[in-house]
Amino acid sequence: MVAQWILAFGAKQDYAFLASYSNQIVDYLNSINKYIWWGLVLFGSVLLYFILSGWISSSLKKASHIVPNQEVMEELIPKLSKNAQHVLLWVWNDQREPITIQNLYDTRNQLRHDRISRLAQINRQRELLGYSMLPTQAEKDNQRELEKVEHVLGNIDLNLTKEDSPTH
């Protein structure tokens, strides 16, 4: 619609006011007139495309940082297979922050691109080197216990000297 208006406007243009400079210029501009206006329409279309593309890209990036409701995550995570949960753990880089829409999107993409078999391969190679990729439940429990102890005793000085010890 806008392009038609611009082309109609361009078709009405007369370059006769440039005749004082040269009739050749007027003839040349009249001969390429439709191409000038088509070029303007093309330039405007490309400009509009990049503006919209940038806006959409920016909107998607903002949306990717949204944290889903906890109720949604509590319903979703148990429905995932163990392998899908391992991929989600692998994708979730900053585990000091909640899982985001981007993490879920990346998990879906990684599952589609066979990340499960790659993680299994990585785990087998780590085991060959004496490491395990995923901590065992006992290791997780120990880590939680250490964090609790650190939280409770973190500000207490436990460096006792002989004078500080109780005498019996």
167 band by pLDDT with thresholds 50, 70 and 90 = low
Mean pLDDT of the chain: 84
Judge if 39 and 106 occupy the same domain: no
Q: What is the pLDDT of residue 135?
A: 60
Please check whether residues 86 and 45 belong to one and the same domain.
no
Do 85 and 141 lie in one domain? The reply is: yes
What Cα–Cα distance (Å) separates residue 104 from each residue in 15, 58, 66, 111, 156?
Answer: 59, 18, 11, 11, 41
**107 and 128 co-located in one domain:** yes
In a domain, 154, yes or no: no
Residue 14 lies in a domain: yes
Phi-psi region of 92 (alpha: psi -120 to 50; beta: other; left: phi over 0): beta
Quote the domain boundaries for residue 77: 70-147
Is residue 76 located within the same domain as residue 47? Answer: no
pTM: 0.52
Give residue-wise pLDDT tens across range 48-77: 999 999 999 999 889 888 999 999 999 999
Per the structure, the count of domains in the chain is: 2
The pLDDT of residue 159 is 60
The token duo for 137 is: 């439940």
**pLDDT exceeds 60 at position 165:** no
